[in-house]
Structure 1
Amino acid sequence: MNLLAIDTSTENASVALAVDGKLNCKEHLGAQSHTQFILPAIDFLLTEMGVAFAELDGIVFGQGPGSFTGLRVACSLAKGLAYAHNLPLYPVSTLAALREAWYFEKSKLDVDVQGVLTIIDARMNQVYWSYATLAQHGSGVEAVSFAKDVVVPGNAPFSLVGVGFEKYEHEFSSDISQRIVERVVIYPEAALMMRLVEQDRVAPVQAGDAMPVYIRDQVTS
């Protein structure tokens, strides 16, 4: 598939373009300048790879959870491009993208774990989180809560993956803390989201049906 992917759910904005099996990406760290980065980055990648929107099969975007402002930026831009070029949209969970990154990297590591807890800083002293076992590859209930209320069922060891969890880790229950066997700091990048679409694990939607997923209603920027 020829896909353009956009993510501005955290302070790290990313754009990825995959055409005929070739992948090119651009990233920018700085939440206050996402809007200035995204469009020029898209234009650069399209020009660099010699591709027009008419040659794309769809547009992927990080639907959340994450920064309220960032989610609106990515969703609005993706919808505008989809409307303008009559393309389907593929909304991807940021927590699922983090989980996919971990599954991909785990194949290279000798780590004895049974699952992965993905986390993104939700501000207001809370975290967005999702836990899935190896048997649940690609799925997991998503929630927002205080770190002390995060739930990891069972008693098996697991990996802690995501961004911003460092300042909340001391609030985890002792049971959870004792079972963490590795900590991986990674952002939910556009290229990771594209991989989920290429694996047919994300259903396309029309531009009018695409919406950010905030999980909670209070704005945290």
Structure 2
Amino acid sequence: MNFLAIDASTEACSVAIRYNDKQFSEYELCPQSHSLRLLPMIDSVLKQAEVKLTDLDGIIFGQGPGSFTGVRIGIGVTQGLAFSAQLFARGVSTLQAMAQQAFDEKGERKVIAAIDARMSEVYTCYFEVDDQGIMQPQTEETVLAPNLVAQFYQHLALPAYGVGTGWDAYAELVSLMSNSSASPDILYPTALAMLTIGQVDFDKHCVDAEHAQPKYVRDTVSWKKLPGR
């Protein structure tokens, strides 16, 4: 099956297409510019693949958690494109996508994802790879103060491989991370990783365009950044 994947849930803006077993992608770090960059990036990968939106089987989108504004932009674009091309859509977790990237690129089978959620909190979840090579959540996705994360994961055999911006933002987390000697290599999700996850059993998990929904995890919007960030 052939899919377009879209993600704007963090500082990164990422799109990818898988068409006839070939992949095309674009990725940019463009904080606060997602609304300007997302559609041109989608147009670019469609041209690279020499394909029309109506030739695809569905759209996979980053459903969060992450930036409230970014998540809404990504889902809004997904809904518009899916509705116009009469395609179904499937949401993929931002945290799961980063864990998937850790397995695909580095062979890591146990991963903790932690994204800086502002307001002195992190979005986090623990993942392990399944028999299909897909990283699956072993805990719920949650938002926690950094000093509570170790308690949340106390039943697990840690440390695990760490991905996301939360590790650099909060020193309290470092003891949980097996790659603690350096800043995480994987800070943001990619649409390519979302393609890998979203194509599996797409028909079972997809929805009509109007039912594409975000997963915020937290209901409060924060406009306040951490000191010095």
Q: Distance in 1 between matches of 2:164 and 2:115?
A: 6
The residue that corresponds to 2:88 in the other structure is 88
Q: Distance in 2 between matches of 1:56 and 1:220?
A: 37
Question: Which sections of structure 2, spanning at least 5 residues, go unmatched?
Answer: 224-229
Structure 1 contact 130–142 (Cα < 8 Å) conserved? yes
Overall identity of the aligned pairs, in %: 39
Deviation of 1:134 after TM superposition, in Å, equals: 5.1
The alignment partner of 1:128 has SS state of strand
Q: TM-score, normalised by structure 2?
A: 0.85
The residue that corresponds to 1:149 in the other structure is 148
Cα distance per residue 1:97-131 (max 9 Å; x no partner): 11111122343x7xxxx732111110111100001
Q: Distance in 1 between matches of 2:15 and 2:45?
A: 8
The residue that corresponds to 2:7 in the other structure is 7
The alignment partner of 2:137 has SS state of coil
The residue that corresponds to 2:113 in the other structure is 118
The residue that corresponds to 2:162 in the other structure is 160
Structure with greater proportional strand content: 1
Structure 1 contact 163–185 (Cα < 8 Å) conserved? no
Q: 1:181 to 1:46 in 2, by over 3 A?
A: same
The residue that corresponds to 2:179 in the other structure is 182
Q: 1:48 to 1:195 in 2, by over 3 A?
A: same
Q: 1:160 to 1:54 in 2, by over 3 A?
A: same
From 132, 136, 161, the counterpart of 1:138: 136
Q: Distance in 1 between matches of 2:28 and 2:105?
A: 22
Deviation of 1:33 after TM superposition, in Å, equals: 0.9
The alignment partner of 2:13 has SS state of strand
Structure 1 contact 115–157 (Cα < 8 Å) conserved? no
Structure 1 contact 31–70 (Cα < 8 Å) conserved? no
The count of aligned residue pairs is 211
Superposition RMSD in Å: 2.0
Q: TM-score, normalised by structure 1?
A: 0.88
